[in-house]
Amino acid sequence: MPPKRFGGNFAGENMNKDLSEINKEMQLLLRKRDTFSDGIEMCLKLRSTLSNAVKELCGRLCDEQYSLMPYPNAKGYHCKTIAYSIWHMARIDDIAAHTLTADDTQVMFRDNHLEEIGSPIITTGNELVGDEIITVSKGLNIAGLLRYAGDVRASTDELLQGLSFEDTKRRFDDEDRRRVIVSKCVSEDESAAWLVDYWCGKDVAGIIRMPFTRHLIMHIEAMMRIARKIGIEI
């Protein structure tokens, strides 16, 4: 059984380190057939922990704070806004789960999510910089964005629960690559286009390890750093 280490407060400054250790243990479990189901269980618990940390943070924010950028010149993920971070994480999850892995319809294009959020883009947002991030962030309907992010998390969790050990060994091919490109959900700008090669150079297990877990840890840790800088106690 996976260790019961998900009850603590992971919103502090050691969040990245603490959850990265759990993520490493999860990866080891996923590599063996005999421990694969425990690895998936740990993955789902990790994603739930991260989702709860975001919900707790968002409960302390007013809409205007979602578009603040207190570290505009920083090199790390904390140079973004909280709204951008939520959008980016959800889009990465959605595209990787549905267009790339499952070859079905993204959550974004179900139930009028795009219209409700009011986003001018459908991409991951990697191509955006500086004031572009702030402008897009200010234009997003926050309630709609949070509903979308929650639906994406639930949908990806369902995908994860349905995977077998053999499924995770499937490597992505030229048809998978074509499908992602044709979707126009990854910008052709060089700051974003690399994502297609990065994802398609992996197998399904690699997508679990990065977009579905490690990627979330890094961006949520950055969100917490932004929140502390703008005066939010977490």
Question: Tens of pLDDT along 47-90?
Answer: 999 999 999 999 999 999 999 999 999 999 999 999 999 999 99
The number of distinct structural domains making up the chain is 1
CATH number at residue 49: 1.20.120.450
Instruction: Specify the pLDDT at position 87.
Output: 98
pLDDT of residue 6: 52
> Which of the two residues, 160 and 19, has the higher pLDDT score?
160
Residue range(s) defining the domain that contains residue 81:
15-229
- Asked if residue 3 has pLDDT above 60, the reply is no
User: What is the residue-averaged pLDDT of the chain?
Assistant: 93
For position 34, what pLDDT does the model report?
A: 98
Nearest to 208 by CA among 30, 20, 51, 25: 30
Spatial CA neighbour of 157 closest among 53, 54, 51, 23:
51
Q: Is position 132 within any domain?
A: yes
Contacts of 41 (CB under 8 A, 6+ apart): 2
Question: Is residue 4 situated within a structural domain?
Answer: no
**Is position 2 within any domain?**
no
**49 found inside a domain:** yes
Residue 151 lies in a domain: yes
Task: For residue 25, name the pLDDT band (cuts at 50, 70, 90).
Answer: very high
Residue 205 lies in a domain: yes
